[in-house]
Amino acid sequence: MLSASTSKQHHLAIPPPRSCDTFVFVGATSSSGTLFGKNSDRPSDENHEVIRIPSCVQYDKCDSVECTFISIPQAQETLDCILSKPCWMWGCEMGANSFGVVGGNEAVSTLLADELLSPDDGSPTKRLLGMDLLRLSLERGKSSKHALDICIELLEEYGQGGPCCKEDSDWTYENSFLFADAKEAYVLETAGISHWAWERINAGE
């Protein structure tokens, strides 16, 4: 009896599982198609919203887009998107566009994470957040490969970084992305400010 009681107390002491993961299975049905899903471990008291961003094809070359912390040149055309995002942030944690491209991101930690911090005071340097990169890729990418290429291009040009929580200005992280459409998917891993590597996921994987 004592042993059972001790075991129960130990079980209750285990913290609840937490994870922020995105998964995909390409060719999930006999008629082709892709199964995509994501869960999140964002702060429990953070307000989220699901929004629709209509397409636009009338941007001028001089227009810019205000992301969470920085502004960058706007694309001439953006696509119709449905996005799930923290309310305070411009970017999104997952979303889909009118061309059937879906995407999600999650935090990763590498040996290059210190690149994200200012050498002066150790605070996160404000660049594009991972969620900004995801939204920009979904607003502009007409296939999963196109979204991947856009994300890499923006990462190389502007870098990633900045506070990832409104209530904790010291919390920052590198990002992993998953882009998918009905035919294929791509995993993009990042490290530091602008290092990256990707892998293609074929049908049946």
153-178 in b/e burial notation, b at 16+ Cβ within 10 A? ebbeebbbbbbbeeeeeeebbbbbbb
* Angle between helical axes of 144-158 and 130-140 (0-180°, round to 10): 140
Active-site residue, selected from the candidate residues 20, 62, 81, 87: 20
Q: Is 62 annotated as catalytic?
A: no
In sequence order, the 6+-apart residues with CB closer than 8 A to the CB of 43 are 165, 167
Amino acid occupying residue 89? M
State the sign of the Cα–Cα–Cα–Cα dihedral 88, 40, 197, 138. Answer: negative
- Which residues are identified as catalytic? 20
